[in-house]
Structure 1
Amino acid sequence: MTTQHDLSRTGATDRPRNGAVRPRTHAVPRPNEGLWPGLATPPAAPVKARIAESLFRNAVRNLPVRVVFPGGERIGAGGPDAPVMRIERPGAFFARLGADSKIGFGESYMVGDWTTTDLPGLLTPFAAKLSTLIPPALQRVARRWVEARQPREEVNSLEGSRENIHRHYDLSNDLFALFLDDTMSYSSAWFADGSDDLVLAQERKIDGVLDMAGVRSGMHVLEIGTGWGGLATRAAQRGARVTTLTLSQEQKELAEARLAEAGVADRVQVLLRDYREAQGSYDAVVSVEMVEAVGVAYWPTYFAALDRLLKPGGRVGLQAITMPHDRMVVSKDDYTWIHKYVFPGGIIPSVTSIEQNLAADTTLHIAERRSLGFDYARTLGHWRERFLDRRCDVQALGFDETFRRMWEFYLGYCEAGFRVGYLDVFQFSLQRRPSF
């Protein structure tokens, strides 16, 4: 296992399961191997660091938080019960923030430049003011001249998608099992009133998607994005036959084992296949939180595939994370901490962008929708608590402290976004537009 002293190593190659060597053309973190290229050393950019410090101080002055510096200096408008951010190494923190704020803020948490005892509570006020923390003019300058752009090899071509999925979903089935519930659902749950039972909420979510697609006995259902087989199992238990697609070998193997354990393996076929390679015609199509991994350039292809694969009279059950359209438009080309460390190649759509793509490239429209945004905040809270409770188990799997802080930041960062409504998630029923 790699130690902190190894953080600046860069691997020139990576060897996938088929034995072929993939060249590394940029510094790619490999969390499951403990490789964090360049992370150990803060950028040497004193002018940018001073600018970042000035902007940060101005931004937090009116936020309901308390920021504490070494020596006791405090800034922020938070009272005694407000979340506290302790900046342990101000020089390194502002250097990372100045180099690229969209990446440096998370990286500085990963290495301990700052700490807090309430990560989602601290990040929530930042998320609520995300679009105004930095003046718009400076945001435009940063996007053009300072901030990183998406590496070419992370674009979601057929080959790029496989690599992007591999980097996240093939980390370790055992890792995901530590913080997910018994259904192994890695998407928003849907809680019933008065209930905080995550398993019941996930089953309710799955049934909600299947209902949106009208799945019933005797149907042949296509699922795009297998996960670990929870939805396919439920659809088969309804009496449907399921073909489900994944790009993750790790997920395929565990999904097949879980399907066999549930006694429905004879009704479900798991294929290691991209949605662009899918063939056939299906009574219903379902896809849960997969569109976020497609990329703007491939949205037309993705939605056209839903249309192409659906039989006349069929319906699509789609669950998708969304963000406000204006924010999506200005940030769609950004390369952020989430891209670098968690979801390479990802982009969250807006409801408007989904509607536009459906209108332009399909015969489908949104016939029904429901929002689960606050349910996602609760779901992420469950995941984060389970992950923190099992930190020793995560360590035993071979993941280092940098990874554990990275994953904690990822879960807390997302929870904050859903808490304030900066992010939402919808279940949609897509049906063919009526012809007049």
Structure 2
Amino acid sequence: MSTSSVDRAAGPASLPAPDETRWPGLATPPHSPLRARAAEALFRRAVKNLDLRVTFPDGTVLGAGGPEAPEMRILRPSAFFHRLGADAKIGFGESYMVGDWTAEDLAGVLTPFAEKLTTIVPLFLQRFRRFAERVQPAAEENTIEGSRSNIHRHYDLSNDLFSAFLDESMMYSSALFGPGEDLTQAQHRKLDSVLDYAGVREGSEVLEIGTGWGELSIRAASRGAKVTSLTISQEQKVLADARIAEAGLSDRVDVQLCDYRNATGQYDSVVSVEMIEAVGQSYWPTFFATIGKRLRPGGRFGLQAITMDHDRMLAAARSYTWIHKYIFPGGIIPSVQAIEDGMRDNTRLKLAGMREFGQDYARTLKLWGERFHQRWDDIRGFGFDDVFHRMWEFYLAYSEAGFRSGHIKVHQFGFADPR
């Protein structure tokens, strides 16, 4: 039995209390009996029609799923409902991190919740949401300094961590699968697709916004392009430079530690893969305008973005969630409409092509999750503890469930300057 399967099935007694220096305040659940009772009533009402089983220590079973349905085991009901009552959008994930509940098939449990996300809270209560929910803190606003801090908290965790669960392409974004392709082949298919949308070919001068670990730059330079790639992650730049040098392409790729707002020069193509989610809604006009300014007449823009429905985006625009607190501070997922409107209002570019492949992202995340579990002993050796393990386990499964349910999607766009 693997380490990950032991951890997933284990009861709370097997989990050490969170280290207060790493996880301040997490070990002790909040205490608000009235809110906990309200949360329990809403939770019981919500799960009774979901295709899963929710089991309690006293033998109570809730949910509409049969014996084969994914099982959510609530091990410490009191702590679970107090966390849920204090702040459901944060407490649900925190309660998993500390072991108040567990699941063998975590993505399977989370998918029915994602499918019914807009109706879990009764409509008559949703009108009061703005009074009860926390908003994103001002300290996480995506100013130039704020963006650097937000990116540092996630992407500078450890290159070794990301190397452990990503494939050899080191792409941390959705693959685009063709028949019979493995993850690396599918990542290259994705890159070729977005480069095609951007019209990248021999002799192209390309600006990449968001370097990652360099694979897109390598792919573009291999076509004969000259690439300027921007990142604000020092850790990513170090490894990207090393990988580009190993590919023998240092003369064709210049990785700069530079915010997109400080970009200079003119280019035939601009490309950006899953970076817009970190821009922040109030900075989208600046992001789109920057693309327009950096493109030569007749230039093209290739974009890959996680998306959500426009009405859901508007409803979630200021919400502060578990994902913001623990994974992506300052982030917001745009809608297709927000991207199209932003490009129309801030550039001369016109939409030239688009594809959606959200189920490919669910598959990508499943593969990442499996590799994360398989490599956990190695990852633990990089200095990460059991709470981090369950946090990332929840993050990957939560994201997979979002794509599986269709609550979030991923799109590639091609925009062209008609001049």
Q: TM-score, normalised by structure 1?
A: 0.91
The equivalent position to 1:394 in structure 2, one of 364, 379, 382, is: 379
Shift of 1:280: 0.4
Equivalent position to 2:172, from 186, 196, 203: 186
> Deviations 1:112-144 (Å, cap 9, x if unpaired)?
000000001111110000000001232332332
Which of these residues, 252, 267, 280, is aligned with residue 267 of structure 1?
252
- Which residue pairs with 1:424 in the alignment? 409
State the percentage of identical aligned residues: 63
Aligned counterparts, 1:157-306, within 5 A: 157-193=143-179, 195-306=180-291
Which residue is 2:33 aligned to?
Answer: 46
Whether contact under 8 Å (1:8, 1:41) holds in the other structure is no
Contact map agreement 1:191 1:375 (CA 8 A) in 2 = yes
In structure 1, the partner of 2:90 is 103
CA distance in 1, matches of 2:16, 2:209: 39
Unmatched 5+ stretches in structure 2: 1-14
Structure 1 gaps of 5+ residues are 10-34
Give 2:152's aligned amino acid. Answer: H
Q: 1:372 & 1:6 partners in 2: Cα distance?
A: 38
Instruction: Specify the code of the residue in structure 2 equivalent to 1:416.
Output: A
Counterpart pick for 1:55 among 39, 42, 55: 42
User: Does the CA contact (< 8 Å) of 1:328 and 1:349 recur in 2?
Assistant: yes
3-state DSSP of counterpart to 2:300: strand
Tell whether 2:123 aligns with 1:131: no
Does the CA-based 8 Å contact 1:124-1:419 persist in structure 2?
A: yes
1:143, 1:394 → 2: CA distance? 39
User: Is 1:354 equivalent to 2:324 in the alignment?
Assistant: no
User: Whole-Å Cα distance in 1 between the matches of residues 391 and 18 of structure 2?
Assistant: 17
**3-state secondary structure, aligned to 1:418:** helix
1:77 to 42, 64, 74: 64
Residue matched to 1:17: none
Looking at structure 1, the residues matched to 134 and 129 of structure 2 have their Cα atoms a distance apart, in angstroms, of: 9
User: Is residue 322 of structure 2 the alignment partner of residue 337 of structure 1?
Assistant: yes
After superposition, the Cα gap between the structure-2 partners of 1:106 and 1:247, relative to the gap in structure 1 and judged at 3 Å, is same
| Offset at residue 36 of structure 1 (A) | 1.2
Rounded to whole Å, the distance in 2 between the matches of 1:7 and 1:335 is 24
**Would the aligned equivalents of 2:18 and 2:387 in 1 still touch at CA under 8 Å?**
no
| Residue 12 of structure 1: aligned partner | none
Report the equivalent of 1:321. 306
Contact 2:18–2:26 under 8 Å retained in 1: no
Cα RMSD over matched residues? 1.2
Deviations 1:216-236 (A, max 9, x none): 011110000000000000000
Listed one character per residue, the Cα deviations across residues 29-55 of structure 1 (whole Å, up to 9, x for unaligned) are: xxxxxx112111101111000000000
Task: Return structure 1 stretches of 4+ with deviation > 3 angstroms.
Answer: 3-9
Q: Distance in 1 between matches of 2:328 and 2:60?
A: 36
Post-superposition CA distance 1:171-230 (Å, at most 9, x none): 00000001100000000000002x240000001001011000010011110000000000
Distance 2:323 2:64 in 1: 28
> Secondary structure in 2 aligned to 1:228?
coil
State the shift of 1:6 in Å.
Answer: 5.9
Quote the residue 1:19 is aligned against: none
Task: Note the alpha carbon deviations across 1:34-87, whole angstroms, 9 max, x for none.
Answer: x11211110111100000000000000010100000021101110010000000
Alignment CA distance shift 1:6-1:60 (3 Å): closer
Match of 2:353 in 1: 368
Contact kept, 8 Å, 2:202 with 2:225, in 1: the verdict is yes
> Who is 2:7 aligned against?
none
Give the corresponding residue for 2:138: 152
Instruction: Give the whole-Å Cα distance in 2 for the aligned partners of 1:62 and 1:51.
Output: 18
